[in-house]
Amino acid sequence: MSTRLAAGDPAPDFTLPDADEKPVSLSDYRGRRVVVYFYPAASTPGCTKQACDFRDNLAELNDAGLDVLGVSPDKPAKLARFRDKEGLTFPLLSDPGKTVLNAYGAFGEKQMYGKTVTGVIRSTFVIDADGKIEEAQYNVRATGHVAKLRKDLKV
């Protein structure tokens, strides 16, 4: 089981390819707050709902000084199809080696349909302008999560 992060911890830095295979680094966002959310798989019902919620709330999040990055183990080509099909307007990052997922504690044992399985733990992090974890939320629900996040962040 990977270590879980908490508020005040330094956010593990990373560079991952986006859907167009361009490298995106967390350090590119230094000086701004960023929401990094981890999801199991592009184009699945829950992940689509969550991504579309972020898309639909992106203007308000951006206006509050928050950028959004989605991370999954999917390859860039699958992320590109997902982005284009759903009209997603924020970067989707590919972590097939699960290095970043593990660094954030977003990969490991979880309960699914009453069974213990190993996989992506749906998680969301808010990282402050100095690169520290402001919020760490594990086992979030795909539906209603963005509304809860906006409420927690007073956006």
Active-site residues: which are they?
47
Residue 151 phi/psi, 5° resolution?
-65, -45
- State how far the Cα of 93 lies from the Cα of 44, in Å rounded to an integer: 16
Instruction: Identify which of 28, 10, 152 has the alpha carbon closest to the alpha carbon of residue 91.
Output: 28
Closest CA to 18 of 74, 73, 94, 100: 94
Q: What angle do CA 29, 89, 101 make, to 5 degrees?
A: 55
d(CA 137, CA 135): 6
Asked if 47 contacts 39 with a C-beta cutoff of 8 angstroms, the reply is yes
